Chains A and B, each alone.
Chain A
Amino acid sequence: MVRFLHTADWQIGMKAAHAGEKASAVRQKRFDAAGRVVELAREKDVDFVILAGDTFEHHNVDNAAVKRTVDILNRLDPIPVYVLPGNHDPMVPGGVWDRDAWERIGSHVTLLREPQEYRFDDGVALYACPLAQKQSGLDPTAWIPNREDDDRIRIGVAHGSLNILPGTVNFPIAGDRPERSGLDYLALGDWHGHRIVGRAVYPGTMEPTNFSEQGSGNVLVVEIDGAGAEPRIEACRVNALTWAALTPAISTADDVEALDAAIRSLGTPASLLLKVSPDLGGCTDGKALERLETLREEIRENAFFLEWTGPARPPVIGENQIPDGVLSQVDETLATILDSRIPGGPAHQFADRDPEVVRAARMLLHRLAGGRST
């Protein structure tokens, strides 16, 4: 029986620009997750660890990132670690694998440089499919020889897209590669969500990388009893942060409370990266809007990161009492322009203003009339 930890797509050094001011913190969190992988590996007493590609986001990642990764992997000593170059960190001259920092990796770590068989022991063979470029239409697993009188546990290690989706993909891998080549397990990397397709398995990224990912934040502990045996796969969560994109429809204060509850259910605010785009199309409730604003400020204060975009649909302008006089004239003019009509008198000069600005101006006026500050 062999037990190993299968992980991939650590994307160390990723820019995380979409995390705004938290980009740097997001990058740091990935090291924390990697640290938890080390702990898990020891805890589960695995025989070896497979890192199936995209360990680094790019060849140009900071030296500190490489050093820290080396340090983390060195902490796995003496557990052997097999690191596969992926499409983000392919095996190219001058790449991240040539960095001085990587030179300090321990001897327990094997960089799978060549497409060849690597023997873990007499009973386990790894068939490495390292990538030597960022893009290709060729199947990197094509070279794996078929099983012939081989009673060892055969594990393929590759990085690419299983050819089970329509359209052209980068480094397409035959969907039936395990069967075709007689592999007991095909340890894959590239997809960030955990997915099992027969014996071909994606662990997903150990720490989510954006709002649209599903099923990320795991590493897999895999047990295979022997050649041909069905692998037992346990997904273990190691992620530090939760990313969520929400577009709640807000009409009433209850909707706001529901949103609040939904956010809380995602986890502790300090671990949440939230992207919220409220749909205010049906909202006429000023109180609800007020509550929503309050909630926004609470979240902004407590969450790890909040991107609160403009409402998907703006609220209906309320029936606030605009005082007679100049202001009522202004309100009337704004309404006329929003109606795509040209206001009369000296206000005609404003007819061609940006409707978004006009709407915002009217909302502001009503907000002020409602007794609120700008």
Chain B
Amino acid sequence: MIVEEITIRNWRSYREPHTFRFDEGFNLLVGRNEAGKSTIFEAFTRVLFDRHTSAAEKIRQIQPLESSLAPEAAITFQVNGDRYRVWKRFLQDPAAQFSVWRNDHWELKHEGDRADGAVREILRGETPGRASQPEHRGLCQALWYLQGDAPLPEKAWAEGVKEGLSGFVSLVARSPEEDRILQRIEEGYKISYTPTGKVKSGSLPDHFQKKIPELERELQALHGRARGVEDLRQELEDLAEQQRLKAEALKAARTEVAALQHKLEEGAALEEEKRQREEIVQQADAAEKKVAGDRDAIDNRRRKIDESNKTLEENQREADDLQADVRMEQRAAEKHHETWKKTHEPVLRQVETELATLQAIERTRQFEEKAKDAQDQIERIQAVETELRHREHELSATPLPTKKDLETYREQKLQLATLRGQIEQAAIRIGFDLQVENTSITADPEAEHLTEDGEYLVLGPTTFTIGGVGTISVRGGGSSLEDLQANAQSLTASFASLFERFGVTEEQELYDLQQRRQDLEREIKQLKKALKDLTSEKGLEQLKDEATRIQQKIAGEKSRIGAAPPEWQHLSTDAIREMSEGRTAKKKELAKAIEHEQQKEAEARAAHDEALRKAQVASNRLIELRTQVRGLEQQNADALKSYGTYEHLQETLANETATHERAREDLEALRAEYKIRVEEPKAQYEDALGVVRDLEGQMQSVREKIIDRKARIEEAVSEDFYSRIGDLEASLMVVKRSLDQVTRQAEAVKLLHDMVQVFKKEQTTALAGPVAEQVNRWLMQLTDGSYDSVRMDENIFPVGVSNPQYNEALPLDCLSYGTHEQVIVLLRLAMGALLSNDERNLVVIDDRLVNADPIRMRRLCQILEEVATNHCQVVVATCNDTPYAGVRERTVIPVPGDGRAK
């Protein structure tokens, strides 16, 4: 198939119609990037292979941007010498037309879907589901190497090659009959199998295979239910058997009950007789018991009387002993009492008196010491107070300059010095240099001599009388000097006043007085501190009070001393202490002894009380016993009244016993018969009734179970699973049979298909030789022998190239991108060449040689020219036509840029 021309409109950048015409040989589509070269090839594929009604996303993308225009294109092409023209409009009002060139005009053959189908059939493509993919292009996918294609889309390549080579095979060898049969086999195969040979989902074998487990599962479930029902029936059968057995047993039990009842009725008379005899026995027994009871009572009482008398004797002895104990304890208590009262206590009193005296002496001495301490403290405090008063008085009475006074004095003194200096400076100095020696000079007022040479300092108006000569009056230094002098005088007066105030004449004395003040102040401070320390615990008044109290205590203690031996007063403190300690120890001893005796007395008295109590109890018991004995004796006497004597009582008892015995014997005899005729049957009757009730209960239980099982069976079978089982079994049989049939049929078709494929492959594999041969020749030409062959797998899928230097093929992935692309281009060219024996086919290379270096490009041009000249229509798209200068015979088709069609 070759293309003559294509006209496109409203297609991406092509808004206006634009027509591109192609030569049979080498065509170079030249245009800048984004000029629309690939768009032309896109239009090829869409118009030739896509349904005109497709609205897939890829189809929508061919609309010019921001428009709702309908893309359309028309292609004129040749196949097997016939000229065809197909026009399609997509998206908006989609349409398609397929025309054939007949008799010098275009004859419209098909429209719409038929037009789509007609093109596809001619080009042996496949109906795409949505937008067409390379695998839908049939042979063209092997020969067109477009921008959107991967170099080697595996599946598509394999399919395309197979398609291409199978087409070749068919051109060479396939007859229409063979074609038809192969087609039927293929159709039959595709119905049941996927391309990979697996049973196709949804095919009949698959459908039946899936159906069988479903049916089997359902059948199994229903069989399970049937088994459940059978189990219930089995239970029911068991229950029915149980019911039967129990019914028999019940019948037997009831029969037995009836028989026993009859026996019981017969034994009714015997019952009455037994009752009467029992009554007689009871009466005899009562009578005997009464007499025996009386006798026993009398005997008991006699025994008790004897026992009581014995007890009386014992108790009497005991009471006597207790009385003796009482007396004994009494004597013991008195003895202890006397011991501590009359012996120990007086001694203790004496010792205590002595001890008190000694302690009083000791305390007196202590108090006296304390009194002395207190007094000393008082005196110290008073002394300090006196001293303090003296100092304070002196400080207040004696004028003593303070520090401030002295500071003032010093300041003034300084001022005065300063003033004097100023005065001196301001003063007039006058000196007399007299020719006459020893001339007296006097000043009025006196002027200060400054030098021995007779220079005078004149501070104010001063008149100098120079002896015998005359006078000189000096007015002074002016108002300022007067001020200074006034100030100086003021200060001097102040000094005088200060001195006078403090009664000193010299400065040193002032300082001495100030020092004295400081001393006084320091002493006063010290005295105050000392006073504070002395009175920190107790003040003076407190001490005085304390002293007074101590004196009182001393007086009190002295009064206690009173009758002490006089020599004690003179004993040393240690001796006093020693004597006190001795007395104290003695006192403790005596106290302990007294306590002991008192303890003993208390114990004796307690024992005495206890003995007294017991004696009382014993005495009461004696009285009680005697009363008891008398009572018992009286009772016996009363009891014997109805019998006369004890012997008569015995005799009566014997008679009653005999009577009772006889009645009992008669009763026993009757009872034996009663047991046989009434008792045993009664027990049996009760047992039998019990058995009947049990059986009835069991029967009821079994009946309920039977009802339950029947109900469950009824419920189960009401689900109508039996016929469902039948239907399922029938269906299963049908499905299995169908599965066998269709499986055999499908396997037969598959076997044919597989065999055909194997033989086809054998053929195609053989045919791969020419392709490989052609590619290898060009590969060596292109790479100058670096690679000498392409390695292909069984699907004629290129997997590597051979380097003559190495044994193993170099995988295609290891080649540079450019070389990889070039190999694929060579492969397509070889395919094209091989498949163009009878008619030229179109090979499209869309800008795939951009990575070829100039040398390679030159060689590629040679190859392209060879292919275009001898075999195929070649269309190459490029943005640079310079590398293709090596193709001498070429048609250059410019592609307008920027989407503005001319």
Contact = CB atoms under 8 A, between A and B. Distances in A.
Interface of A: 13-24, 27, 58-65, 92-95, 98-100, 310, 323-327, 329-330, 333-334, 345-347, 349-350, 353-354, 356-358, 360-361, 363-365, 368-369, 373-374
B734 A20 contact: yes
Contacts of B758: 346-347, 349
A361 B751 CA distance: 7
B181 A99 contact: no
Interface string B721-758: 11101110111011000000100110111011011101
B751 A350 contact: yes
Interface in B167-209: 173-175, 177-178, 181-182, 184-185, 187-188
Contacts of B749: 361, 364, 374
B751 A94 contact: no
20 contacts: A14-B726, A16-B726, A17-B730, A18-B733, A19-B730, A60-B229, A62-B723, A64-B720, A92-B237, A93-B706, A94-B710, A327-B178, A329-B755, A330-B759, A345-B762, A350-B755, A357-B744, A361-B747, A361-B749, A365-B181
Interface string B27-63: 0000000000000000000000000000000000000
A354 B727 CA distance: 32
Contacts of B181: 323, 327, 365, 368-369
Nearest to B744: A360
B178 A325 contact: yes
Interface in B691-718: 706, 709-710, 713-714, 717-718
Given A92-B233, A93-B237, A330 B726 contact: no
Given A17-B726, A345-B762, 13 more contacts: A59-B229, A60-B226, A64-B720, A93-B239, A93-B710, A325-B174, A326-B763, A327-B756, A330-B755, A346-B761, A354-B747, A361-B751, A363-B748
**In terms of DSSP, what is the predominant structure of the interface of chain B?**
helix
A58 B720 contact: no
Nearest to A20: B734
B760 A326 contact: yes
B240 interface: yes
B748 A326 contact: no
B232 interface: yes
A49 B248 CA distance: 36
Contacts of A356: 744
B161 interface: no
A56 to B, nearest CB: 10
A16 B706 CA distance: 32
Interface of B: 173-175, 177-178, 181-182, 184-185, 187-188, 226, 229, 232-233, 236-237, 239-240, 706, 709-710, 713-714, 717-718, 720-723, 725-727, 729-731, 733-734, 741, 744-745, 747-749, 751-752, 754-756, 758-763
Contacts of B731: 20-21
Contact of B178 (A22, A323, A374): A323
Nearest to A365: B752
B234 to A, nearest CB: 9
B738 to A, nearest CB: 10
Contact of B748 (A15, A65, A346, A357): A357
B730 A94 contact: no
Contacts of A350: 751, 754-755
A346 B749 CA distance: 18
Contact of B182 (A63, A64, A327, A329): A327
A58 B731 CA distance: 20
Contacts of B726: 14-17, 23-24, 27
Report which residue of B240, B725, B733, B761 has the largest number of chain A beta carbons within 10 angstroms of its beta carbon: B733
A353 B747 CA distance: 10
Contact of B233 (A62, A93, A353): A93
B233 A347 contact: no
A374 B188 contact: yes
B762 A330 contact: no
B239 to A, nearest CB: 7
A13 B233 contact: no
A336 B405 CA distance: 157
A347 B759 contact: yes
A310 B745 CA distance: 12
Report which residue of B184, B237, B752 has the largest number of chain A beta carbons within 10 angstroms of its beta carbon: B752
A245 B748 CA distance: 28
Nearest to B240: A93
Nearest to B754: A350
B175 to A, nearest CB: 5
A345 B731 CA distance: 44
